[in-house]
């Protein structure tokens, strides 16, 4: 049984963001490599910030229908990068790198996690999020009751989480990890160290209560 919910703070855009996530106790930090996003960063930024990470804090790269050259460049810049796919990538697109990866999916009525596990057998985990127009997260909570207990691999819970609701999400879904981005921002794309700390503290409190 998972007795400690892992935490990923996503969409970090400054050195201060990265330091705040680390000091708050995050297990992973997310860098967005999708140019249309307000949270997008350059490879040089991600490289410099990843070099600041202490042992056992994982950098994660979020990609949306990226071409192979873009992913190759990211892996050169950040060799320890965990890949996270948020677009229309087929299994071959995700698995060609021979690297651990997360596969994101939008959960709605009729979604069967086992079908996604069958399609992406090498995914380290499925990242479940709310349906949005376009790609990436929309900062919205989806109906967690749609997540029937039919997954055999770890589930990463995302979508509209914040310090006020993450405890309920952990209690109801029992995910391996939780992901937050807009829920720790003071304004769109601007992370708030106090909100990051409050989110991590809420996760720890939820774990302690289980």
**Any idea which residues carry the catalytic annotation?**
10, 129
Q: Determine the Cα angle at 24 with ends 21 and 26, to 5°.
A: 60
Helix (H) or strand (E) holding 70: helix 68-77
Token pair for 209: 């209560």
What is the distance between the terminal CA atoms of the chain, rounded to a whole angstrom? 11
Contacts from 195-200 at CB under 8 Å and sequence distance 24+?
Answer: 195/162, 195/163, 196/9, 196/17, 196/20, 196/21, 196/24, 196/26, 197/20, 197/23, 197/24, 198/163, 199/7, 199/9, 199/24, 199/161, 199/162, 199/163, 199/166, 200/7, 200/24, 200/25, 200/26
Q: CB neighbours of 171 closer than 8 A, spacing ≥ 6?
A: 206, 209, 210
Question: In whole angstroms, what is the distance from residue 62 CA to residue 81 CA?
Answer: 10
């Amino acid at each position: 049984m998972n007795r400690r919910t892992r935490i990923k703070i996503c969409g970090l855009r400054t050195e201060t963001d990265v330091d705040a996530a680390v000091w708050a106790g995050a297990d992973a930090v997310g860098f967005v490599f999708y140019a249309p996003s307000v949270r997008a960063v350059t490879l040089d930024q991600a490289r410099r910030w990843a070099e600041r990470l202490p042992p056992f804090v994982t950098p994660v790269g979020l990609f949306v229908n990226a071409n192979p050259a873009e992913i190759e460049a990211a892996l050169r810049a950040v060799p320890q990068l965990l890949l996270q796919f948020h677009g229309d990538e087929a299994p071959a697109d995700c698995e060609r790198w021979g690297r651990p990866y997360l596969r994101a999916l939008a959960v709605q009525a009729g979604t069967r996690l086992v079908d996604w596990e069958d399609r992406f057998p090498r995914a380290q985990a499925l990242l479940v999020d709310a349906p949005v127009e376009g790609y990436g997260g929309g900062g919205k909570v989806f109906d967690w009751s749609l997540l029937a207990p039919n997954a055999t691999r770890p589930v990463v819970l995302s979508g509209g989480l914040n310090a006020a609701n993450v405890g309920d999400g952990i209690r109801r879904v029992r995910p391996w990890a939780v992901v937050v981005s807009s829920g720790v921002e003071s304004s769109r794309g601007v992370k708030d160290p106090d909100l990051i700390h409050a989110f991590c503290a809420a996760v720890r409190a939820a774990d302690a209560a289980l």
